[in-house]
Amino acid sequence: MISIEIPGWGNLEIENVVFDLNGTLAEDGVLLPGMKEKIDLLAEKVRIYILTADIHGSAGAILREVKAEWIRVTGEDSKRGKGEFLQTLGPEATVVVGNGNNDQFILKDSALGIAVLGKEGLSLAAMKEADLMAKDISDAIDLLLKPKRLIATLRE
């Protein structure tokens, strides 16, 4: 668990981190360099879940490499599927990291939503619903590994 007390913002007791795969942890269906190591390090503190529609068909191979549970979200309404999954975990103990339109509601409903701007872009809807934005996935994960950075950004 990661415990963070953010003055004027609230206390976070993080048990789960949910990542979107494509555009967040992976680019064009390939896990970004350094992500295996960072995810495995974060997995020592929290449970990691990776949600994907697997549009590139490579999620199975990618996710065998990391200490995370892979959840396939299929169908036209992946927003709803992601939202339902978040509810099963408990949004109050979950951080969500994503970049797409279909991440907007889980970014909003989670205890902490981190929007990531990567090479595949960041939807305005996701950015609007997140609590903060990171310039890339490496920086987003570092916010959780070094939580004083979150305090500096979110404190009132």
pTM attached to this predicted model: 0.94
% of the chain with per-residue pLDDT over 70: 99
| Coil, helix or strand at residue 54 | coil
**Residue 127 CB burial class (10 angstroms; 0-12, 13-18, ≥19):** middle
Q: 137-145 vs 35-42: helix axis angle to the nearest 10?
A: 20
Q: Is residue 86 predicted with pLDDT exceeding 80? A: yes
Q: Tokens representing 48?
A: 């990691």
H helices within the chain, ranges in order?
Answer: 35-42, 59-63, 78-89, 104-109, 124-129, 137-145, 148-154
pLDDT reading at 54 higher than 80: no
| φ and ψ of 30, to 5 deg | -120, 130
- pLDDT bin (cut points 50, 70, 90) of residue 75 is low
CATH 3.40.50.1000 applies to domain 19-149: yes
d(CA 64, CA 124): 31
As a whole number, mean pLDDT of residues 39-58 equals 90
Span 118-133, pLDDT tens digits: 999 999 999 999 999 9
- Look up residue 54 and give its two tokens: 């697997």
Q: What per-residue confidence (pLDDT) applies to 23? A: 86
